[in-house]
Structure 1
Amino acid sequence: MSEQGKTHFGYQQVDVDEKAGLVAGVFHSVASRYDLMNDLMSGGIHRLWKRFTIELSGVRKGHSVLDIAGGTGDLAAKFADIVGPEGRVVLADINESMLNVGRDKLLDQGKVEPLSYAQADAQFLPFADNSFDCVTIAFGLRNVTDKDLALRSMLRVLKPGGRLLVLEFSKPTNDLLSKAYDAYSFNVLPKLGQLIAGDSDSYQYLAESIRMHPDQETLKEMMLDAGFEQCEFFNMTGGIVALHRGLKPW
């Protein structure tokens, strides 16, 4: 934060207590076209990023998994297949529209057990201490007002030895790639948003929010400061996306 009581909403400075409502408006707007836009924006590569996340999660049969900002349920669906009926998968999202889209999508796929749903704020997770073997948050942390508070909340609900995985847009490692990515994000994404979702402003915000998100090393330090150990990150697609992983101490 640059001044007390203020935080970033994209490139704008807004009051801390206003950000959640502004972010909610973005995702209410894009929920119905979210999956289609993800495929168009990433050329389908987001599926590979999520597959890598699942591979590094260490989730096994019978585990409990919390997918925060789980949106339309891509990760939750895969985790449900892995943990089986003996396990537990909670799809959580602060945004009612996104949660409804995700729940309807998974029900349409015939996925019932072991899934449950919770409208929840990552900063104040409504779950008991030491509840989950794994917590994931994919493309959601950058929208959280107080990321440090959210990371501590995630640590609290993890079991000792449990894993946190944060999949998020990050900072490209190559200058040429970075310039091309900026040109794409600020010139193409809002136009795609207008064409497909009828909303260019929300995709302008999403592009700005990516630029305001902490880089790879900064987020790793934030996880360590929150109490995680053995923190590491894996760059994908030249650092456009990074997967951070940390463990809750025993």
Structure 2
Amino acid sequence: MGSAEKPAGEASTHFGFERVALSEKQARVDDVFRSVAKRYDVMNDLMSGGLHRAWKSNLVAMLRPPRNRPFRHLDVAGGTADVAFRVLEAGGRETHVTVLDINEAMLGVGAERAGDRFTGRIDFVTANAEALPLPRGTFDAYTIAFGIRNVPRIEVALAEAYRVLKPGGRFLCLEFSKVDLPVLDRIYDAYSFHVIPRLGARVAGDSESYRYLVESIRKFPTPGRFAGMIEAAGFSRVSHRPLTGGIVAIHSGWKIA
């Protein structure tokens, strides 16, 4: 697919394979997730064959929330609270999770799913990952799962993650990556571009949103380049762990001081 011309006189970025004004991307991403919110978790199961559950479990296993002391956790782009529930179940009674998302429709699904579970241990905040309305040095850990590639200015979101973490805090990002197994890469491409949009049309009534989500994966930085961005934000001991042949990776960094 080709790219549109860069908008004249304004910084631009990608929206899938399309070039758009930087100021325009967030609203278009919001439209995507507003459209798919009600069927988002069902589509995750269908698209990944349920693998997203194992990937998120790996993320929380790396996080290892403690069971015997207070632990404040921030899950950004956490919408439907899938990761938040896992963190709360793995941690102790003094584990508290703030689920933050810019999209109110996604947060509404998460709050509805939470119901009366975890009362006093979970809250939902509508906010932008690039401008967290949270004090410096507040959280023990920060996760973002399948969300950072949708942020218009990734480097700004990473700087905000660093700011709100306590010294010794950990950043973990679960994101689609680059398939590194021959044959699997071709199968994955064919499945992504031909099957997933059709699933989106049939299940969520929206093929274009899922076409964007597939394209956004291909535009995300390589693991090495993304690691460099995490380091540039101030994090130390940066690493990444590929899963399922590189379909996804978990990126890790620590705020040492």
TM range (shorter): over 0.9
3-state SS, counterpart of residue 92 of structure 1: strand
> What's the secondary structure of 1:49's corresponding residue?
helix
| Residue 181 of structure 1, CA deviation | 0.9
Does residue 196 of structure 2 align to residue 189 of structure 1?
Answer: yes
SS at match of 2:128: coil
The answer for the alignment partner of 1:15 in structure 2 is: 21
Deviation at 1:145, TM superposition (A): 0.2
The aligned residue for residue 97 of structure 1 is 105
Consecutive unaligned residues in structure 2, runs of 5 or more:
1-5
TM-score by length of 2: 0.94
1:59 aligned onto 2:59:
no
SS in 1 for 2:183: helix
- Residue 233 of structure 1 is aligned with which of 204, 216, 240? 240
Count of paired positions: 248
Counterpart of 2:3 in structure 1 is none
Inter-partner Cα distance in structure 1 for 2:246 and 2:93: 36
* 1:175, distance to aligned residue in structure 2 (A): 3.4
Question: 2:155 touches 2:233 (CA, 8 Å); kept in 1?
Answer: yes
Report the counterpart of residue 249 of structure 2 in structure 1: 242
Match 1:209 to one of 201, 211, 216: 216
Aligned ranges 1:36-185 → 2 under 5 Å: 36-61=42-67, 62-107=70-115, 110-185=117-192
Counterparts of 2:64 and 2:88, CA distance in 1: 14
Asked whether the 8 Å contact 2:71–2:140 carries over to 1, the reply is yes
Q: Distance in 2 between matches of 1:205 and 1:15?
A: 16
Shift of 1:123: 0.7
**CA drift at 1:113:** 2.6
CA-CA distance at 1:80 after TM superposition: 1.8
Q: Secondary structure at the match of 2:217?
A: helix
- Distance in 2 between residues matched to 1:83 and 1:116, nearest whole Å: 16
1:23-61: CA deviations, max 9, x gaps?
000000000000100000000010110001001113213
The residue identity in structure 1 corresponding to 2:51 is I
Cα deviation digits, residues 107-152 of structure 1 (max 9, x gap): 16x2323001101111111110000000000000000000000000
Distance in 1, matches of 2:90 and 2:134, equals: 22
Point out 4+ residue stretches in structure 1 off by more than 4 angstroms: none
Letter in 1 for 2:104: E
Compute the RMSD of aligned alpha carbons: 1.3
Contact 1:59/1:133 (8 A) holds in 2: no
Q: Is the 2:73–2:141 contact (alpha carbons within 8 Å) kept by the matching residues of 1?
A: yes
**Offset at residue 179 of structure 1 (A):** 1.4
Structure 1, unmatched stretches of 5+, are none
More moved, 190-199 vs 99-108 = 99-108
Identity %: 46
How far apart are residue 79 of structure 1 and its match?
1.5
Task: Kindly provide the amino acid, as one letter, of the partner of residue 46 in structure 2.
Answer: L
How does the TM-score come out when normalised to structure 1?
Answer: 0.96
Aligned to 2:34: 28
Conserved in 2, the CA contact under 8 Å of 1:85 and 1:113? no
